[in-house]
A = this chain, B = another copy of it.
Amino acid sequence: MQFLRSGRFWDALAVLPGQRGGSMDTSIVFLHIAVILTTAHLLAELAGKFGMPTVIGELAAGIVLGPSLLGWITPNEIIHLLAEIGLILLLFDVGLDTDVGRLINAGPRAAIVAIGGFVVPFLLGFLLTHYAFGFSMLVSLFIGGTLTATSIGVTVRILRDVGRQNSHEGQIVLGAAVLDDVLGVLLLAVLYEFSVSGEVSLLNVAKVTMFVGVFFFTAPLAAKLISSLIRRLEHVSRVPGVIATTISSLVLAFAWLAHAIGAPELLGGFAAGLALSRRFFLPFGIAIATHPRFSHHIDLSMRPIIELFSPIFFVTVGLSLDLRAVEWQSSFIWTFSLSILFVAIAGKLAGGFMLRREHPLTRTAIGMSMVPRGEVGLVFAGLGQAAGVFGPQVYAGVIIVIAYTTLLAPFWIKSFYKRYGNRPQLFETAGETTVDGSALRPAAE
């Protein structure tokens, strides 16, 4: 069928001047996207039918389609790009639903959870693997780094799945997960620098920290100003699709900007979402109400786009977990992975338990929600492997921990809320008035 292959229109376009010849068969990418979306949706429905968190269905779709089971789909650059857009849009969506005032209120507690859940697993992981397993300094540092991760994607999705996104503890978890992501990027940069040069420049770390801080406080304001221009444009527009194209552009441009200053890209999506949320507060307590009709239009136009891209993200996390590469017979793998698994879980719970003024149930809920390592853990592990720091055994052990925390934490969280979700203690907040814990939009199930 060589003949047929020659009839491809866009293959020919790819050889136009100024372009490198495209080796990728685009129609296969279409098939892969269709298979990813359909499998994810069907397994999510199945999970929902059996009372499981629906995100499990999407993660499982990746496990099934990827190298772990069928090996049909290996994520390439394009799938990764679409997944990344999915994660950025997911954070945009979370930002849209967030009450900025409450998030700022939860800030100090979120910082405690983030820092606690970062330092404890890092130190425990480092000490355990360096002293008990006798790994080198660098290997142990990378293992500790991997254990600091919190999958912001899985965490916010599971909170939404159980309808606790806008709850008291949901706000703390959201803030903590965002901070954890920023800390993760900083640590990754430091570890990488250390693995290459053996030294770390604290000045650089301070610089990036400052940039990120400035970005986080000025970006929502800038996004708000741009969005008021978009609202005016919408009034006079003669071309359909004003919201879909301009708001998507805003989100992607902010993701680029966040990356350019050294922050995680999803921070750009989150900042844009916060700016467009129903009530947006300036630092000095000035509330800028978003026009309700405009809010409604944004939701109507962006929802299908978010729904299209975000499952690709969760499936890609599953695709990147190669469980077949693990030597399940090796006793070392079991000892090693179970030990660091204990650290991985205990370390994040410790972060939640540092909130002395919260009820133990709330602390447990918060700690559990921070457990999934997901995509952020995979990045640490992947970098460790690529830099030659992790051998195949250590890498496999780390992958087991990432898979276990990512795939099982949603189950614990769902059962936890099934059992304790109606206890008044969970809704009681320490030192502030009790607020309505119900979600602004009905949860997925």
Residue numbers of A with Cβ under 8 A of B are 1, 3-4, 6-10, 12-20, 22, 24, 26-31, 33-35, 37-38, 40-41, 44-45, 48-49, 54, 57, 67, 74-78, 80-81, 84-85, 88, 185-186, 188-189, 192-193, 201, 204, 208, 233, 236-246, 248-250, 252-253, 255-256, 259-262, 264-265, 300-308, 311, 320, 322, 325, 375-376, 378-380, 382-383, 385-386, 444-445
Chain B minimum-CB-distance residue to A265: B27
Interfacial chain B residues near A378, Cβ < 8 Å? 13, 16
Secondary structure of the A contact surface, majority rule? helix
Beyond the given pairs A19-B75, A30-B255, A41-B246, 16 more chain A to chain B contacts, judged by CB atoms under 8 angstroms and listed by A's residue number, are A3-B208, A4-B261, A7-B186, A7-B208, A7-B262, A10-B379, A12-B383, A13-B320, A13-B378, A18-B74, A19-B76, A24-B81, A34-B253, A40-B245, A245-B307, A302-B304
Q: A49 and B375: CB pair below 8 A? A: no
In the complex, A288→B38 CA distance in Å? 25
Chain B minimum-CB-distance residue to A302: B304
Q: How far is the CB of A226 from chain B (nearest CB, A)?
A: 10
Q: A304 and B243: CB pair below 8 A? A: yes
Interfacial chain B residues near A379, Cβ < 8 Å? 9-10, 12-13
Q: A249 and B16: CB pair below 8 A? A: no
Interfacial chain B residues near A17, Cβ < 8 Å? 322, 325, 385
Chain B minimum-CB-distance residue to A1: B262
In the complex, A193→B2 CA distance in Å? 10
Q: How far is the CB of A421 from chain B (nearest CB, A)?
A: 18
Q: How far is the CB of A23 from chain B (nearest CB, A)?
A: 9
In the complex, A265→B260 CA distance in Å? 37
Partner of A308, one of B19, B20, B67, B241: B241
Interfacial chain B residues near A34, Cβ < 8 Å? 248-250, 252-253, 256
Q: A10-B80, A248-B308 are in contact. Are A253 and B31 (CB under 8 A)?
A: yes
In the complex, A382→B19 CA distance in Å? 11
Interfacial chain B residues near A192, Cβ < 8 Å? 6-7
In the complex, A54→B241 CA distance in Å? 12
Interfacial chain B residues near A30, Cβ < 8 Å? 85, 88, 252-253, 255-256, 259, 265
Q: B14 and A188: CB pair below 8 A? A: no
Q: How far is the CB of A115 from chain B (nearest CB, A)?
A: 19
Q: How far is the CB of A18 from chain B (nearest CB, A)?
A: 5
